Amino acid sequence: EAQVTQNPRYLITVTGKKLTVTCSQNMNHEYMSWYRQDPGLGLRQIYYSMNVEVTDKGDVPEGYKVSRKEKRNFPLILESPSPNQTSLYFCASSKTLGTGGVEQYFGPGTRLTVT
Amino acid sequence: ILNVEQSPQSLHVQEGDSTNFTCSFPSSNFYALHWYRWETAKSPEALFVMTLNGDEKKKGRISATLNTKEGYSYLYIKGSQPEDSATYLCASVNFNKFYFGSGTKLNVKP
């Protein structure tokens, strides 16, 4: 089954404790992306990757890191989480954007709470 | 930061009503316009991806149009059903980045 998986689905952590949210897709997609969703705001792009070893900042990259060492995986790293990073996080993937006409597939989401 | 706006923020309609929402986006450096359907406790699912001015796409009772010159897209739902209740998101793609609007929340009453 074609899918995007994220782990963990729920996480409660404390300020400053490094954490990683994993994202994996089995569709051989080139483009992968991380978003956060906060009440009253639309999805905001954190980082994206056009292909292996190619990553770039989205709109809200501060406090996050990513890596793309393999095509299928795109982990999101919070080196020193803070309460303002409490949010619902989505990973998404698509075939290469090309002319932009390719839909994204979203993972199930990770609800993160930082106390 | 690119400003994508959706209106209305929320909409309550009766089963059988037809409805439409608007997505406005900057027309400069336009690449593509995406529509997603997002049900509570689920993930957003793609409805349409449009790239060309004048594009019209249809999936069952749902259709969308695109005007890239004036920077807007309409999503239409014909004969709304309770299962259409969801938040509808649009996103503009510019220079490989996605910019989402805050969504239109649709509630269809039986």
pLDDT confidence bin for A103, thresholds 50/70/90: confident
Contact B49 A101 (CB under 8 A): yes
Contact B91 A109 (CB under 8 A): no
Instruction: Provide, as residue numbers in chain B, all residues whose Cβ is less than 8 Å from the Cβ of A45.
Output: 97-100
* Statement: residue A100 has pLDDT above 60: no
Q: In angstroms, what separates the C-alpha of A81 from chain B's closest C-alpha?
A: 24
Q: Which residue of B10, B35, B43 is the best one to mutate when testing the A interface, meaning the one whose CB has the most A CBs within 10 A?
A: B43
Contact A56 B96 (CB under 8 A): yes
Q: What is the mean pLDDT of residues B51-71?
A: 94
CB nearest B49 (choices: A31, A50, A103): A103
Output the average pLDDT for chain A.
93
Q: What is the mean pLDDT of residues A4-15?
A: 97
pLDDT in tens, B32-47: 999 999 999 999 999 9
Instruction: Provide, as residue numbers in chain A, all residues whose Cβ is less than 8 Å from the Cβ of B31.
Output: 97, 99-100
pLDDT of residue A97: 63
Q: Token pair for residue A19?
A: 């954490």
* Statement: residue A96 has pLDDT above 80: no
Q: CB distance from A55 to chain B under 8 Å?
A: no
Sequence-ordered alpha helix ranges (H) in A51-90: none
Q: What is the mean pLDDT of residues B88-99?
A: 92
Question: Which DSSP string corresponds to B52-104?
Answer: STT-EEEETTEEEEEETTTTEEEEEESS--GGG-EEEEEEEEETTEEEE---E
Q: What is the mean pLDDT of residues A69-92?
A: 97
Distance, CA of B29 to chain centre: 20
Contacts of A16 (CB under 8 A, 6+ apart): A80, A81, A82
pLDDT in tens, B76-88: 999 999 999 999 9
Share of chain B above pLDDT 70, in %: 99
DSSP state of A53: T
Contact B99 A45 (CB under 8 A): yes
* Statement: residue A57 has pLDDT above 80: yes
Is residue B70 within 8 Å of B77, Cβ to Cβ?
no
* Statement: residue B106 has pLDDT above 90: yes
Tell me whether the omega of the peptide bond preceding residue A83 falls within 30 degrees of 0, making it cis: no
pLDDT of residue A30: 92
* Statement: residue A106 has pLDDT above 90: yes
C-alpha distances in Å from residue A94, one per residue of A50, A67, A103: 10, 17, 6
CB nearest A59 (choices: B1, B31, B45): B1
Instruction: Provide, as residue numbers in chain B, all residues whose Cβ is less than 8 Å from the Cβ of A105.
Output: 46
Q: CB distance from A56 to chain B under 8 Å?
A: yes
Is residue B7 within 8 Å of B73, Cβ to Cβ?
no
* Statement: residue A31 has pLDDT above 80: yes
Instruction: Provide, as residue numbers in chain A, all residues whose Cβ is less than 8 Å from the Cβ of B45.
Output: 106
Torsion over CA: B103, A34, A13, A82 (sign):
negative
Share of chain A above pLDDT 90, in %: 87
pLDDT of residue A98: 61
